[in-house]
Amino acid sequence: MVTVFIPTAFRKFSGEREQVEVAGGSSLRQVIERLEAECPGIKDQMIFNGGVHPGLAIFVNDEQISQGLIEQVPDDATLRILPAMGGGSLRHGEGCR
């Protein structure tokens, strides 16, 4: 089983669950298909124009994926979905307050 950690923004698709277990697959694409069966609607948040949505970072066993949807996902993996962090820029000389 693959343990998928669901970001807060996507929990409306998972019934507010923080993590979901799905059967493993040989690729990220297969894992996302199985996740979609468990959490209808989440796939549309993860895939854009046939690839991983550019606003997401996906990690398999704490390693950021580099091969997109063909990335291999072991059966006992953990998968973390991290939405891109939004925000502005600081002007030179400014810091956090």
Sorted by where each begins, the domain ranges of the chain are 2-83
The model scores a pTM over 0.85: no
What tens digit of pLDDT does each residue of 17-42 get? Answer: 999 999 987 899 999 999 999 999 99
State how beta strands 78-83 and 56-60 pair. antiparallel
Q: Where residue 89 falls among pLDDT bands split at 50, 70, 90? A: very low
Q: How far is residue 74's CA from residue 37's CA, in Å, rounded to a whole number?
A: 19
Handedness of CA 37, 41, 47, 52 (dihedral sign): negative
Residue 28 in 3-state DSSP? helix
Q: Where residue 7 falls among pLDDT bands split at 50, 70, 90? A: very high
Domain 2-83, CATH among 3.60.70.12, 3.30.70.260, 3.10.20.30, 1.20.120.1200: 3.10.20.30
Q: How far is residue 37's CA from residue 39's CA, in Å, rounded to a whole number?
A: 6
Between 40 and 92, residue with greater pLDDT: 40
User: What integer is the mean pLDDT of 49-68?
Assistant: 92
